[in-house]
Amino acid sequence: MSFSSLGLSPALVHAVREHAYTDPSAVQSSAIPAILAGRDALVSAQTGSGKTAAFCLPLLQLLHSKPRLSARTVQTLILVPTRELAAQVGETLRKLAQHLPQPTKLAVIFGGVSINPQMLHLRGGADIVISTPGRLLDLLEQNALSLSNVCSLVLDEADRLLDLGFSDELTRIIALLPEQRQTLFFSATIPAQVEVLAQNMLRDPLRIAIDTIATHAPDITQRAIVVDVKQRTQLLRHLIDTQKWSRVLVFVATKYAAELVAVKLRRAGINAEPFHGELSQGKRSQVLMDFKASRVKVVVATDVAARGIDISNLPVVVNYDLPRSSDDYTHRIGRTGRAGEAGLAISFVCADSANENHFRLIEQRHQQKIMREKIAGFEPTDIPVNAVAVDTDTNGGIKGKRPNKKDKLRALANNSD
């Protein structure tokens, strides 16, 4: 299947070719014709599936096929959960729109930076607004824009928007939109909250489910290394040195750990930067830019970097701390092996039963078994507590979260005889 057979205009087909998209991805093949036909859609697809272009391409075409109003009015509104995703969607739109006969005015809006340049930029309107919910409401309160002409609304990473507690903000924004409009939901998963919102907001939606794990599993080699907690930084250094990785994204559990591990790596002469929610937006953007340009070799991040961020040619992701849930695991490892490239995801599994059991639960949820490896010189010396039976019932066990103190005590008691 080709992009032109999906009904896209020559200018858009030209742009996708220029960006080396040879064939449409699965989500693009299903979603583009439906969106062009004006349908609502509920799409479950993760970052890495090509979902951004799946809505950007048809929305650009719809925008440019309508007569332009004399003053620019916001016709397309794209709501995203994070600043990084807003910037990324804006960048994709800019690239894809470049051969269209008329210019497209985009406004990328997010908090954490001064509001004034955004207000100035919105003067005279914008064709497409890409925004996080909070800052959009601030701008609406200041009458910096109107949503009364919006024809198409996209909720990108709808599950994440709700996870981050944007439900009230969404309700307030939706109340300002015209009833007659096209609404598109893109979400990695469709939990009950998203389903309810979709039922309230979508009219006869086309449902598309792209099994990203299955599609992408062959591209990501998953490994698990058993190591003592206190040896992890040394092991990480050893792997960076011996495996000659060009760049590594390392996930840790806390902001403090992100800072600490980055400092330790820097002390060892490795160019590393922390990345977490407490850094200023300017710093976060800078770190990402430097990482993308290979000026920084290692980024040590909390889960704020687990979703939405698209770094091409990222060869390795390391779970220094295990993710809290199997969904987070999927998102983290999905930062590598993108767009058909091969990727490697390594998880450090520490030699205590809680960590081991937690990783087993992640394996069960993913229906796979990953061999535990030991690296010479880093063999664990912590005495492992005997493995504890993990409840295979998906509703039982530790619900995909790290076990708490009680879980650990219970596990020890079960194994004491």
Binding positions for ligand AMP, rule: CB under 6 A: 21, 24-25, 28, 47-53, 310, 312, 338-339
Task: Give 85 or 145: the residue with its C-beta nearer to ligand AMP.
Answer: 85
Task: Give 56 or 177: the residue with its C-beta nearer to ligand AMP.
Answer: 56
- Residue 285: which of 110, 159, 24 has the closest Cα? 110
Task: Give 307 or 402: the residue with its C-beta nearer to ligand AMP.
Answer: 307
Minimum gap (Å) between residue 47 Cβ and ligand AMP: 4
φ, ψ for residue 373, nearest 5 deg: -110, 155
Minimum gap (Å) between residue 16 Cβ and ligand AMP: 7
CA–CA distance, 366 with 353 (Å, rounded to integer): 20
Longest dimension (CA), the chain: 80
CA–CA distance, 305 with 324 (Å, rounded to integer): 14
Minimum gap (Å) between residue 311 Cβ and ligand AMP: 9
Minimum gap (Å) between residue 20 Cβ and ligand AMP: 7
**Tokens at 106, concatenated:** 């985009």
Minimum gap (Å) between residue 25 Cβ and ligand AMP: 5
Distances from the Cα of 348 to the Cα of 227, 322, 340, 364, 386, angstroms: 6, 7, 25, 17, 18
Distances from the Cα of 336 to the Cα of 9, 331, 356, 409, angstroms: 32, 10, 23, 36
Task: Give 276 or 307: the residue with its C-beta nearer to ligand AMP.
Answer: 307
Residue whose entry in the numeric block shows the structure tokens 């039976």: 389
Minimum gap (Å) between residue 112 Cβ and ligand AMP: 22
Task: Give 25 or 353: the residue with its C-beta nearer to ligand AMP.
Answer: 25
Minimum gap (Å) between residue 77 Cβ and ligand AMP: 18
CA–CA distance, 249 with 220 (Å, rounded to integer): 14
Task: Give 87 or 225: the residue with its C-beta nearer to ligand AMP.
Answer: 87
**Tokens at 154, concatenated:** 């996209």
Task: Give 89 or 350: the residue with its C-beta nearer to ligand AMP.
Answer: 89
Beta carbons within 10 angstroms of residue 286's beta carbon? 15
Residue whose entry in the numeric block shows the structure tokens 């928007």: 161
